[in-house]
Amino acid sequence: MSKKQKFKTEVSKLLDIVINSLYSEKYIFLRELISNASDACDKLRYYALMNPGIAKDNGAFKITITPNAEENTLTISDNGIGMNKDDLINHLGTIAKSGTADFVRNAKDNGSVVDLIGKFGVGFYSAFMVADKVEVITKRAGEEQAYKWISDGVDGFEISDTERDKFGTDIKLFLKDDAKDYVDTIYLRHIIRTYSDHISYPIVLDLGKAGEETVNTGSALWTKNKAEITDEQYNDFYHHISRNFDTPWMRLHFKAEGNIEYTGLLYIPSEAPYDLFQPDRLQSLKLYVNRVFISDKVEDLMPSYLRFVKGIIDSADLPLNISREMLQQNALIAKIKNGTVSRILKELKKRSENYDDYMVFWKNFGVAFKEGIYEDVANRVEVAELSRFYSTNDKERLTSLDEYISRVIEGQTTIYYITGDDVSTLRNNPQLEAFAAKGIEVLLLVDPIDEFWVQTLTNYKGYPIKHISQAELDLKMERDTPRADEGSLKKLTDFMTELFKNEVGKVEVTEKLTKSPVSLTVESGQMSIHLERLMRNHQQQTAFASTRILEINPYHPLIIRLADSMFEPSEKARIEEVCRLLLDQAKIAEGEAISDSSFFSEKLSEYIMNGWSKEA
């Protein structure tokens, strides 16, 4: 007995986009379904290691493609792990990951639906680009009951009990009238050999009375000599394991020999995945032992900051029947990880010599990669060397720490930085004025991780790394402009200290400002305003309070005017208004919210109009 079930709302939207897209290369669905079948065989192969004998009567692993020109159907079958009823609902009736919503939101702005299919991992649904109806018959390994799933991709799906002799899955596509090419055996051979030749299981084309034909070579690509592999074959394999459709930015194929032997075929995509910063995102390496797939969930195989790396690791030195739990504690895994990370960093160093090329990588993965400065103690300096930063030196070109050091002025022994939410705001921060006047470059750090790695990497190649608020060098400058009277300044700072006692801890005169009348900073050694703001946004503000310091520029005409007016009681109300505007100005420069936006807006307009009237 079957019962109609509705698709989840977002899946329904997604299917509408896929089915009705104008994407012309619809043949990509076959590669997606073959890859799914290959994964199912991988999973049963591993499951059989833990449960000996469970698949002994299931036959040799293979993927069978059966075209039927009379019925205009195409069936993709495998004898892999199969699915039960819950699997069908969870995998084919909904997409548990939040990526579906992102898919739907982005699809209208993306010229290629297939890019999104690869990016968001919804390859099964590409079948509806060529099929009016899809029928799935499947039986999960270790279970007795088989199930049938049917859908037209519009009105939901039905699941009913059925029969299947062996474990595995049959996906039968009832092709659209304009998709008759997919029952043409010549065309099918071409697609399979072009896009799925690297699949390690035989892909068999059922020719009916003419018998069966194995179409692919079925060899593990990473075991071949690099000289024998074409770029097209490398890229096809990348598309298979990553489910992406871009051309990889970097490829690394190597064989490590010595105390432990293993082969790696790794890729860095040319586009960032949508879920790069989702907390539950897993790294994307597949682990094989002697070409037997073991797991794609070995967390210790690749550090988190390289979670965007795709590929495989194959080792003959790991036990074939090792469990996933044992893998997490295995010392050999740690050695493989260390060796692999070292090779990736060396390759990145080579690629970093070409600035424009390296920026493709940095734009997509730089924020994640910088996490390694904080997390990877052994490779901290190497990761820092490969990192790139905005600075006051150049508005267009990012800089490395080594380039920064090459430009330090005479007597400068420290690397200086400032943190904030965006580069444009930081460039205009009053705290930078004295550094600019002295010709001292400052790094502009705008990513949340920047607040943390600077706490762990406090010295780079002999140069301490410090926030500009901790600068110990003399920032005083020779000036030939008037300065406010000391007595008046003292009266003004006392007045402002009392006025802002609930908002700032101190009001001080500074020699560091050249253009701005005021700036906001914190005590040396305390948490930066930006970091405190990040903590506050995560409800941790009570434990991380810094002392705000409002600095005033005694050379600025406005400060001189205010100081002189302190001895005129009739000007008290006006002085208070101007002081409040100045504090708001300092907060805005630091990216902080102002206390009373309506007051700021009203008074700013009033003073502008008054000045305009006087000029007139």
Q: Angle, to 10 degrees, between the axis of helix 28-50 and the axis of helix 185-195?
A: 60
Query: Looking at residue 303, what is its pLDDT?
Result: 93
Strands 73-78 and 63-68: antiparallel
- Portions of the chain given CATH number 1.20.120.790: 486-615
User: Where does residue 543 rank: exposed (0-12), middle (13-18), buried (19+ CB within 10 A)?
Assistant: exposed
CATH code of the domain occupying 486-615: 1.20.120.790
Give the closest residue to 547 by CA, choosing from 517, 527, 562.
Answer: 527
- Portions of the chain given CATH number 3.30.565.10: 3-218
What are residue 421's phi and psi, to 5 degrees?
-85, -30
**Order of strands across the sheet with 548-552?**
506-509, 548-552, 518-522
Give the closest residue to 517 by CA, choosing from 468, 566, 557, 476.
Answer: 557
Side chain identity at residue 16, one-letter code: D
Long-range contacts for 142-145 (Cβ within 8 Å, ≥24 apart)? 142/47, 142/51, 142/54, 142/167, 143/82, 143/84, 145/84, 145/85
Q: How many CA atoms lie within 13 A of 29 on its CB side?
A: 24
DSSP code string of 212-240: EEE-S----GGGS-GGG--HHHHHHHHHH
Query: Looking at residue 9, what is its pLDDT?
Result: 55
Cα(266)–Cα(222) distance, integer angstroms: 10
DSSP code string of 550-604: EEE-TTSHHHHHHHHHTT-GGGHHHHHHHHHHHHHHHHHHTTPPPS-HHHHHHHH
What are residue 55's phi and psi, to 5 degrees?
-110, 20
Cα(195)–Cα(236) distance, integer angstroms: 6
- Portions of the chain given CATH number 3.40.50.11260: 388-470
**3-class SS string, 82-136:** CCCHHHHHHHHCCCCCCHHHHHHHHHCCCCCHHHHHHHHCCHHHHHHHCEEEEEE
Give the closest residue to 120 by CA, choosing from 240, 266, 235, 272.
Answer: 272
Spatial contact of 249 and 269, defined as CB atoms under 8 Å apart? yes
Residues composing the chain = 616
Cα(496)–Cα(581) distance, integer angstroms: 12
Query: Looking at residue 115, what is its pLDDT?
Result: 45
**Order of strands across the sheet with 250-256?**
250-256, 262-268, 310-315, 284-289, 292-295
Cα(555)–Cα(483) distance, integer angstroms: 5
Below-50 pLDDT ranges, the chain: 22-23, 95-104, 107-108, 110-121, 542, 616
Which alpha helices (H) appear in 371-485, and where do they start and end? 371-375, 380-386, 401-406, 423-427, 433-438, 450-456
What are residue 516's phi and psi, to 5 degrees?
-90, 150
Query: Looking at residue 262, what is its pLDDT?
Result: 94
Query: Looking at residue 199, what is its pLDDT?
Result: 83
Query: DSSP letter at 26?
Result: T
Cα(41)–Cα(19) distance, integer angstroms: 28
| Region of residue 604 (phi > 0: left; psi between -120 and 50: alpha; otherwise: beta) | alpha
Query: Looking at residue 607, what is its pLDDT?
Result: 82
Spatial contact of 555 and 511, defined as CB atoms under 8 Å apart? no
Cα(42)–Cα(47) distance, integer angstroms: 9
Top-tier CATH class for 222-356: alpha beta
Cross-strand pairs, 463: 460
Cα(390)–Cα(444) distance, integer angstroms: 5
What are residue 192's phi and psi, to 5 degrees?
-65, -45
Tokens of 370: 């910088």
Token pair 């509705």 is at which residue? 6
Cα(148)–Cα(376) distance, integer angstroms: 48
Top-tier CATH class for 388-470: alpha beta
Q: Chain-centre distance of CA 485, in angstroms?
A: 54
Query: Looking at residue 236, what is its pLDDT?
Result: 87
DSSP code string of 425-441: HHHT-GGGHHHHHHT--
Terminal Cα distance for the chain, rounded? 87
Q: What 3-state class would DSSP assign to 204? A: strand
Cα(415)–Cα(100) distance, integer angstroms: 44
Give the closest residue to 153 by CA, choosing from 14, 319, 359, 349.
Answer: 14
Cα(416)–Cα(471) distance, integer angstroms: 8
Query: Looking at residue 329, what is its pLDDT?
Result: 61
Close Cβ partners of 572 (under 8 Å, ≥ 6 residues apart): none
Tokens of 244: 């992406």
Cα(487)–Cα(509) distance, integer angstroms: 12
Longest dimension (CA), the chain: 108
- Portions of the chain given CATH number 3.30.230.80: 222-356
CATH superfamily assigned to domain 3-218: Histidine kinase-like ATPase, C-terminal domain (3.30.565.10)
Query: Looking at residue 179, what is its pLDDT?
Result: 92
Give the closest residue to 520 by CA, choosing from 469, 595, 569.
Answer: 469
